Amino acid sequence: MKRLVGTIAATACLVLAACSSDKSGDAAIKTITVYAASSLTGTFTELGKDFEAANSGTKVIFQFGSSGDLATQITQGAPADVFASAAPKNMQTVIAAGDASSSVNFTANKAEIAVAPGNPAKISGLADLAKPDVKTALCVATAPCGALAAAILDEAAVTVSPTATPADVKSTLAVVESGDVDAAIVYVTDVAAAGDKVQGVAIPDAQNQVTTYPIAVLTQASDPSNNLSGRAEDFVDYVTSSAGQDVLTKAGFVKP
Going by C-alpha positions, the residue among 109, 102, 145 that lies closest to residue 236 is 102
- Residue 229 predicted with pLDDT over 70: no
pTM of the model: 0.85
- 247 band by pLDDT with thresholds 50, 70 and 90: very high
The CA–CA distances, whole Å, from 97 to 72, 101, 142, 239 equal 10, 10, 18, 24
Query: What is the DSSP code (8-state) at residue 103?
Result: -
Distance between CA atoms of 48 and 31, rounded to whole angstroms? Answer: 11
- Residue 7 predicted with pLDDT over 90: no
Distance between CA atoms of 76 and 72, rounded to whole angstroms? Answer: 6
Where does residue 56 rank: exposed (0-12), middle (13-18), buried (19+ CB within 10 A)?
exposed
- Residue 4 predicted with pLDDT over 50: no
The CA–CA distances, whole Å, from 175 to 45, 92, 117, 192 equal 23, 30, 13, 16
Stretch 36-55: mean pLDDT, rounded? 97
